[in-house]
């Protein structure tokens, strides 16, 4: 079995992945707050951890991996969007989840095993909060419940910060009901039209951090294998998750491995609306940039390095994919991906090295290995590559099919008559027209490539 090594944020070391149960590998990734379209930065962790999901399935078996990514569908940003638009909260979250699925599907990301919604796990959150209060780690005050950070000695270990440094440098909500500025909200009161649920502390709603702790525990257990997310979530979100989960369950860890992807820039600058370089995945798709090209660009940089999105990378990605699609269009993928590609991915998800190994496969003309390797990273799915094949499929009508069949019959007749010059001319003509032929015992099959040209076909 292939050894996978991952850089563990918790220990700050690259470590061999040693699952709790090789037959039941459990992964959790923080998902979106569903009030608006996902921007390009949101897409990076989706693609990165989709590759992790694919690699784990390849090594341990598809049925051995449970991948959970949540939807935060109760949040003040959602409430504000509802107040701003006059729409029902449920309508907004349902629509946004649909957008998210459409956009991430377009990037070739597999759907996680489970996609829990926070609002479906309110009872579990309340039960966890009650347990934290009972154990002395949380307290109720003025309709709120807060986690008492100084009761957890290892707070700050994930992000490598001391509590005093955090207080000095962080934006913390100062409130009279807090015992300490760093204490964070587990439950807060709801008023008027705000969504709320009955609780021992009055009608209210959960804080942001408690939802991931409750859902991961319910679906993956008190301790699971991998927790993943963007580096922007390391503090305070993941730090708070660890604190409340470990105190609730009395465990030494929440997850054995923590993976964080770095941030994304655009042409060397931070993506922001004020700079005019902020765009959503849907913006790019609507501009005609194929999802597969977006995915390729996101894979060009190692996930632990800041990534720069540039127009040049887009051009390079599209040119490479067109070349590779042409190579694998009519090829049966190998049974297994190339060892060089698997080895690169197993070395801390080094997608940049994996793409370099795939370039070498293409250089050597190893089309079947390239096809299998591309599937492992979510590329070259011929079935869904509409951006490559839409024009090809549209141009193959009954007339073209009849022409191809007639030419194949003419070639077969020429070969039978030992007129190899004409037979070879027809085959060469097919190749120039972007039609691949496969001679078999029971006849010749044909397959169009992305370079298919009806004009050149008619010239044969």
Q: Is the per-residue pLDDT at 13 higher than 60?
A: yes
Please report the pLDDT score of residue 163 as a whole number: 75
What's the rounded mean pLDDT across residues 390-415?
94
Please report the pLDDT score of residue 168 as a whole number: 56
Give the rounded percent of residues in the chain with a pLDDT score beyond 90. Answer: 90
Q: Is the per-residue pLDDT at 10 higher than 70?
A: yes
Please report the pLDDT score of residue 312 as a whole number: 97
Q: Is the per-residue pLDDT at 124 higher than 90?
A: yes
What is the pLDDT of the chain when averaged over all its residues?
A: 95
| 8 A C-beta contact, residue 141 and residue 185 | no
Q: How far apart are CA 228 and CA 230, in angstroms?
A: 7
Residue with tokens 């994996």: 354
Q: Which domains does the chain have, with CATH numbers?
A: 5-261 (3.40.50.620), 265-389 (no CATH), 396-458 (no CATH)
Kindly report, residue by residue over 140-198, the tens digit of the pLDDT: 999 999 999 999 999 999 999 877 766 655 555 668 889 998 999 999 999 988 999 99
| 8 A C-beta contact, residue 254 and residue 223 | yes
Residue with tokens 């001391």: 162
Phi-psi region of 374 (alpha: psi -120 to 50; beta: other; left: phi over 0): alpha
What's the rounded mean pLDDT across residues 398-419?
96
Cα→Cα distances 358→4, 174, 307, 326, 442, Å:
19, 53, 20, 14, 34
Give the model's confidence band at 126: pLDDT under 50 very low, under 70 low, under 90 confident, else very high.
very high
Please report the pLDDT score of residue 192 as a whole number: 86
Please report the pLDDT score of residue 139 as a whole number: 98
Please report the pLDDT score of residue 167 as a whole number: 65
Kindly report, residue by residue over 333-391, the tens digit of the pLDDT: 999 999 999 999 999 999 999 999 999 999 999 999 999 999 999 999 987 889 999 98
3-state secondary structure 243-270: HHHHHHHCCCCCEEEEEEECCEEECCEE
Cα→Cα distances 256→166, 252, 304, Å:
24, 10, 18
For 16, the 3-state DSSP assignment is strand
Please report the pLDDT score of residue 354 as a whole number: 98
Please report the pLDDT score of residue 171 as a whole number: 54
Cα→Cα distances 205→36, 79, 195, 263, Å:
21, 12, 7, 30
């Amino acid at each position: 079995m292939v050894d996978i090594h991952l850089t563990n944020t918790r220990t700050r070391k690259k470590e061999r992945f040693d699952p709790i149960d090789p037959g039941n590998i459990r992964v959790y990734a923080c998902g979106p707050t569903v009030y608006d379209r996902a921007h390009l930065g949101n897409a990076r962790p989706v693609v990165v951890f989709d590759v992790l999901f694919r690699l784990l399935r390849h090594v341990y078996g598809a049925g051995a991996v449970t991948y959970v990514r949540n939807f935060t569908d109760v949040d003040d940003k959602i409430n504000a969007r509802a107040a701003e638009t006059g729409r029902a909260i449920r309508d907004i979250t349902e629509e946004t989840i649909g957008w998210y699925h459409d956009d991430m599907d377009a990037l070739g990301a597999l759907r996680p095993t489970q996609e829990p919604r926070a609002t479906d796990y309110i009872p579990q959150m309340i039960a966890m909060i009650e347990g934290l209060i009972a154990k002395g780690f949380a307290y109720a005050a003025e309709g709120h419940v807060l986690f008492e950070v100084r009761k957890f000695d290892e707070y700050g270990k994930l992000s490598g910060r001391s509590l005093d440094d955090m207080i000095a440098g962080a934006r913390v909500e100062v409130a009279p009901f807090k015992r300490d500025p760093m204490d964070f909200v587990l439950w807060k009161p709801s008023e008027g039209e705000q969504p709320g649920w009955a609780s021992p502390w009055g009608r209210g709603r959960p804080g942001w951090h408690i939802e991931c702790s409750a859902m991961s525990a319910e679906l993956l257990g008190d301790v699971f294998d991998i927790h993943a997310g963007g580096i922007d979530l390391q503090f305070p979100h993941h730090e708070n998750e660890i604190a409340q989960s470990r105190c609730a369950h009395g465990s030494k860890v929440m997850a054995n491995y923590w993976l964080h992807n770095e941030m994304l820039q655009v042409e060397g600058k931070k993506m922001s609306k004020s700079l005019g370089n902020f765009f959503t995945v849907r913006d790019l798709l609507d501009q005609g940039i194929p999802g597969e090209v977006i995915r390729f660009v996101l894979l060009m940089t190692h996930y632990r390095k800041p990534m720069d999105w540039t127009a040049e990378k887009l051009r390079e990605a599209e040119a490479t994919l067109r070349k590779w699609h042409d190579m694998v269009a009519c090829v049966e993928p190998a049974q297994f991906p190339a060892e060089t590609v698997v080895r690169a991915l197993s070395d801390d998800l080094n997608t940049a090295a994996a793409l370099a190994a795939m370039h070498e496969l293409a250089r050597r003309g190893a089309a079947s290995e390239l096809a299998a390797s591309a599937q492992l990273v979510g590329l070259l799915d011929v079935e869904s590559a509409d951006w490559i094949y839409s024009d090809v499929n549209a141009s193959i009508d009954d007339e073209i099919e009849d022409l191809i069949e007639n030419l194949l019959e003419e070639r077969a007749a020429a070969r039978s008559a030992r007129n190899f010059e004409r037979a070879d001319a027809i085959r060469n003509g097919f190749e120039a027209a972007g039609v691949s032929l496969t001679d078999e015992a029971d006849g010749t099959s044909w397959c169009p490539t992305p370079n298919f040209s009806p004009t050149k076909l008619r010239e044969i």
